[in-house]
Amino acid sequence: MKLKIALLPGDGIGPEVAAQAVACLQAVEETFGHQFEFTEAPVGAIAIDQTGDPLPEATLDLCKASDAVLFGAIGDPKYDNDPAAKVRPEQGLLRLRKELGLFSNIRPVKVFPTLIDKSPLRKERIANTDFVIYRELTGGIYFGEKFLSEDGNTASDLCIYSEEEISRIAHLAFKAAKTRRNKLTLVDKANVLESSRLWRRVVTRIGESYPEVELHYLFVDNAAMQMILNPSQFDVILTENMFGDILSDEGSVIGGSIGLLPSASVGETSAMFEPIHGSYPQATGKNIANPIASILSAAMLLDHFGLDEEAAAVVSSVNKALKKGMVTPDLDPQSKYGTDDVGHFIAGHISDSDDFKGLNQENIGLGKSTII
């Protein structure tokens, strides 16, 4: 298969981890005989430094002309600590999601058996965790009208949703549930918010077309608690933009490191793959960032294009690294291995063709069922 991939490494540790994802995709190219053409472009703080714009037109055009976008990370403390900044790196990512129509953000949360002891949560609580968050990504409070009064003393952000925005992601989430354990939990705040009540009405109605899927409702505050108390109760979680942002960071704690969680953002015509973590500025250039979330995002890319065996080979290689203790210090403070050691190891084992042939399901950390 020929794929044009726009590579947007972004800020902080973004370039370091994205480089390892590229190395893995190149190993897949060689091993399986595909052609992936990578074209790099700036986004985020680095793009502001270069052009004044966190999403330069040339970057956006490249993404639109590509089959997929591989994204590193975004953000820089110099903007975080300056509430008056008019231009911010995050605007680049948000605009990119909006322009590419990436309305559905898919974030699988699964405990790797080899890492169960690394979690700050008790083993017996988190065993068998395997859920996927469907986060609406181009609506809600992130994109509603913003207001700041002239005296700077009053501000508001509007949380607005249309039925259409809710139903298109709801269908994807129900379809995903059908390929998994037939359970969908809508997370909202319908006891307080009108927009959440719309979500309930729309999702309940759509649920009638998926009779095999059990539909549950949870208020977001309760969901945040349940996710830590008993994460294995969840299969597919469907939620709006900001709740999904918060819950997915919380979900990352279950597996022991935010450096492990990948994501796919998909729309009608485009798809983007990125780790859920941020730019981790304190680690920039130190070769300590965990590349696994980025590498697993590359596996989601492969899966998105139907390259199941290739995705499984990447995931199998990740599992091998974890089993061998070939991990960065976030997972093992004694570890001497850096971002590039872990990435080279994983890329290097993708071609061990004998290993991935006949993979059993247990070895596949990211089942196809979690990815559309």
**Positions in the binding site for ligand IPM (CB under 6 A):** 74-75, 90, 93-94, 245, 276, 278
Least distance (Å) from ligand IPM to the CB of residue 347?
Answer: 25
Strand duo 130-136 + 236-239: pairing = parallel
- CA 360 – CA 372 distance, rounded (Å): 20
Residues touching Mg ion: how many (CB under 5 A)? 1
Q: Which is catalytic among the residues 79, 134, 142, 161?
A: 142
Residue 258 Cβ vs ligand IPM, minimum distance, rounded to whole Å? 10
**Annotated catalytic residue: which of 11, 53, 235, 245?**
245
Which residue lies nearer to ligand IPM by CB, 6 or 93?
A: 93
**End-to-end C-alpha distance for the chain, whole angstroms:** 18
Is 320 labeled as catalytic in the residue annotation?
A: no
Judge whether 354 counts as a catalytic residue: no
Helix or strand or coil: residue 105?
Answer: strand
Reading the block at residue 169, the tokens are 């992601």
Residue 76: contacted member of ligand IPM, Mg ion, none (CB under 5 to 8 Å, by partner type): none
Per-residue tokens: 310: 């290739």
Q: What is the widest separation between alpha-carbon atoms in the chain?
A: 67
Q: Of the two residues 301 and 350, which places its CB atom closer to ligand IPM in the complex? A: 301
Active site residue 341: no
Q: Nearer to ligand IPM by C-beta: 25 or 93? A: 93
Distance of closest approach, residue 131 Cβ to ligand IPM, in angstroms: 17
CB 85, CB 79: distance < 8 Å: yes
Rounded-to-integer distance, Cα 311 and Cα 137, Å? 24
Is 79 in the active site?
no
Q: How far is CA 63 from the centre of its chain?
A: 18
Establish if 245 lies at the interface with Mg ion (CB under 5 A).
yes
173/222 Cα distance (integer angstroms): 21
Kindly state the smallest distance separating residue 297's Cβ from ligand IPM, in Å: 12
205: closest CA among 186, 233, 191, 181? 186
130 vs 245 by CB, closer to Mg ion? 245
Active-site option among 249, 340, 352, 355: 249
For the chain, helix (H) and strand (E) counts, in that order, are 14, 12
90, interface contact from ligand IPM, Mg ion, none, CB < 5-8 Å by kind? ligand IPM
Check: CB of residue 249 under 8 Å from CB of residue 293: no
Q: 68 contacts which partner out of ligand IPM, Mg ion, none, CB within 5 to 8 A by kind?
A: none
Choose among 264, 308, 294: nearest CA to 32. Answer: 308
Q: Please answer whether residues 331 and 257 qualify as being in contact, where contact means their C-beta atoms are separated by less than 8 angstroms.
A: yes
Distance CA 59, CA 23 (A): 22
Query: 93 touches which of ligand IPM, Mg ion, none (CB within 5 to 8 A by kind)?
Result: ligand IPM
From 76, 189, 280, 320, active-site residue: 189
The continuous run of DSSP H or E covering 294 comes out as helix 292-304
Q: Which residue is nearest to Mg ion (CB)?
A: 245
Q: Which of 93, 187 has the CB closer to ligand IPM?
A: 93
**Does 136 engage in binding with Mg ion (CB under 5 A)?**
no
Per-residue tokens: 210: 């998926």
Smallest distance, Mg ion to C-beta of residue 105, A: 10
Active site residue 249: yes
The residue (of 262 and 365) whose beta carbon lies closer to ligand IPM is: 262
Shortest Å distance, C-beta 339 to Mg ion: 21
Positions in the binding site for Mg ion (CB under 5 A): 245
> Which residues are tagged catalytic?
142, 189, 221, 245, 249
